[in-house]
Amino acid sequence: MERKYHYTKVESMSIQSSPLAAGQAAPNFSLQDAKGETVSLSDYSGQKVIVYFYPKAATPGCTTEACDFRDNLNSLQAAGYSVLGISPEAPEELAAFANDESLNFPLLSDPGNEVATAYGSYGEKTIGGKTIVGTLRSTAVINEDGSIQQIEYSVDATGHVARLRDSLGI
């Protein structure tokens, strides 16, 4: 399958969505999952949710992060957290990624980056010396009341879930 990248080359303008902060209401969303079914944040009303944004499935950093969530899902769930991964890829690409890596939590498709933008997880980044616009690796922890407990931007994929568990006391 040919990979399609959802990045825009930047010439001279600055594109960055506004970051969110702890205590703010988490923006609601409804997106298709890897099976083509609609999943909404409101489906998790009254529950704690970890929503993480990643730029591209099946790339080294995104695979490391997704597998880290997979390997720690039992302890996160035991502490009352659900996990949702969001990227700009189509549901079919997410399904292949989930299957290849035996992922055990929902992956959601945000092809227009509207949800990433609402969460401050879309903007400029530099890869290989080139400035592009795309999804920024970030994680939001959402409380049962729908407010943001904590949010982290510019996440390093390696060791991210261990740092997150530590900050959550898990």
15 CB neighbour count, 10 Å cutoff: 14
Active site residue 67: no
Q: Which of 41, 49, 57, 62 is catalytic?
A: 62
The DSSP-derived string for 102-137 is T--S-EEE-TT-HHHHHTT-EEEEEETTEEEEEEPP
Catalytic residues: 62
